[in-house]
Chains A and B, each alone.
Chain A
């Protein structure tokens, strides 16, 4: 960049053009205030794996597959890129050792806990994980409890027929009292957003009759 252009860019920046400049894997990127790191990466075609993210609903940072390492002001953190707002001058690394370690173990745990999901096997394979150290206890389970179905029913459809009940390892997608929902309108949005095919199994149990 020649000196005149550089001066112009600097002036534009100082005037406050509403753009936030930072780097991803060393590459300079620009984003608008309010964007997340994940959105910016997608804009630039930089791949970050996700599971619980869907553009139609608010992100919650639950699966942690989208983690990235950020470095700013001598502070290094590992954060979920889907919920991390962009900030000026931050260095983002999408494939550092720390990030790869998190992804590898999360995928191994997903393989053991959602063994019935083809999509998860494929996602794991993309990231180089083909086997797991952990015991498979429920061979028919495909649900990673990402909550996309619940969020879609809430934010997109507004019916709120299902929710995530219980907590911890007992967390489950269900309609109240494990009965079929009386509020469900059978629109099928939950089936559409489910990233693992689990909702196909669950739908007959939670949907209205």
Chain B
């Protein structure tokens, strides 16, 4: 568990250093996430890593524990909305329309492109 947590923090640290040092536009933790996926892919070439082995590893356990608590972790930042109630009320209509239109448009475009490209390329996936 400690080793797993260390791996997560180390990747975040490298991500933060890369984000700031190279002035990358993406946030440090996201770069850490991408680097972790790359590192796992490289590790797999060296030593087979199936889903079960990964889940039972120190890293898998630490990740599972943290992700189970993920909704809680949004709360402190979310409470900060108390500082913006006026702005939210003022822009309520614009936000409501933007969210509804955007969510429907995103669903339609994504499903449409997925089906179209799948048909064009004849991809073999579970349908």
Do A and B belong to a common assembly?
A: no
B-side interface residues toward A, CB under 8 Å? none
Question: B-contacting residues of A (Cβ < 8 Å)?
Answer: none
